[in-house]
Structure 1
Amino acid sequence: MDAVSLGDFVVRRVSESESDALVGIDVVAIEGDTERQASIRRWCQQGLVIAAEDASGLLGYCVAEYTFFEQGFVTMLMVTPSARGRGVGHRLLDAVAASCTTPKLFTSTNVSNQPMQRLLQRAGWSPVGLLHGLDEGDPELFYLCRPQVGPMRP
């Protein structure tokens, strides 16, 4: 994916060397979650991360993997608190869908995460299932986006 200008910010693929910068904008990683920090580094090494940035720096990032029943799955979507409500998450989801190499692209969020559910609905994703047992007392709601699949991309 080449950098794509989307108004006041750009969406682009992240290089491996930028993992520390991503850790610095991830609210979970900043709080010292070493598992999240390691995941961010692994995702960057594997070339799975796209990010949105403006003149002030990184605004958010999104990770798509292809290990969910051999379909695309948005593993992580993180937007810095100061950039929320500006369309960053929506543009990141659109970019992932545009670059998806499978007929289906899924994601999930906790039932308690109402902002993410609203974002997914605005972005045209459809709820497709509910899974109990991952987070006790807070089921996981799964969503589906049917991206326009083009030629296979590396």
Structure 2
Amino acid sequence: MVVSTQPRFYLASEQHVDHLVQLDTLAQRDPKREEDIKAWVEARNCYLCESDGEVVGYGVLTRSFFGHAFIEMVMISEKRRRSSLGTALVSYFQALSQGSKLFTSTNTSNLPMQYLLLKTAFKPSGYIENLDPDDPELIFFYTDAGDAHASCSGPNEYAASSSHK
């Protein structure tokens, strides 16, 4: 689906929690995610992504990564994925974090998110094993200082070079 209007981003409030739980693919099978969503909204870290007058996703931006900005979550409803909304949300977080370091992470198995991050000028910054069985967490870094372009051509190259060293 093509986005027909520019997406709009704004802080979520308590009234949005039920809708976020409905569009979050993990929350429907894991009650802890609903608790996470409530906590993110309460802490004022959860931003809605609205397109064509409908909330179609959300993202979470914290300062929880060693005092640096960290994109903890990017979730776009299944029916609106691959329509540039995730890219727009990440770009919004980059603008909010202008002048400071911005980090995020994704699993090795999540190739669409890795491509999105590389496309938005994040670069690989390491990995953490043992969070999810057999699926290391890849760390990515962005800075608007001009030196954040990834040196690898895609997620498979990075995953292959970093796994199980």
Q: C-alpha distance in 1, partners of 2:112/2:98?
A: 27
Q: Unaligned stretches of 5+ in structure 1?
A: 1-5, 149-154
Task: Name the structure 1 match of 2:63.
Answer: 66
**Aligned pair partner of 1:104 in 96, 101, 106:** 101
Conserved 8 A contact 1:9-1:53 = yes
CA RMSD of aligned residues (A): 1.8
Moved over 3 A (4+): none
Which letter does structure 2 place at the counterpart of 1:16? E
3-state SS in 2 of match to 1:41: helix
**Aligned pair partner of 1:44 in 41, 45, 50:** 41
Counterparts of 1:8-23 in structure 2, within 5 Å, are 8-23=6-21
Q: C-alpha distance in 1, partners of 2:83/2:97?
A: 23
Confirm or deny that 1:113 pairs with 2:110. yes
Q: C-alpha distance in 2, partners of 1:147/1:49?
A: 22
Q: C-alpha distance in 1, partners of 2:132/2:56?
A: 27
Confirm or deny that 1:77 pairs with 2:80. no
Conserved 8 A contact 1:63-1:77 = yes
Which letter does structure 2 place at the counterpart of 1:127? P
Deviations for 1:28-51, whole angstroms, at most 9, x for unmatched residues? Answer: 1122x1110000011111111111
Q: C-alpha distance in 1, partners of 2:20/2:96?
A: 21
Q: C-alpha distance in 2, partners of 1:16/1:139?
A: 33
3-state SS in 2 of match to 1:47: coil
**Which structure's CA Rg is the greater one?**
2
TM-score of the aligned structures, taking structure 2 as reference length: 0.80
Q: CA deviation at 1:140?
A: 0.9
**Aligned pair partner of 1:146 in 134, 143, 148:** 143
3-state SS in 2 of match to 1:24: helix
Conserved 8 A contact 1:25-1:58 = no
Q: CA deviation at 1:125?
A: 0.7
Task: Name the structure 2 match of 1:57.
Answer: 54
TM-score of the aligned structures, taking structure 1 as reference length: 0.85
Q: CA deviation at 1:100?
A: 2.0
Number of aligned residue pairs: 142
Indicate the structure with greater strand content.
1
Q: CA deviation at 1:14?
A: 1.4
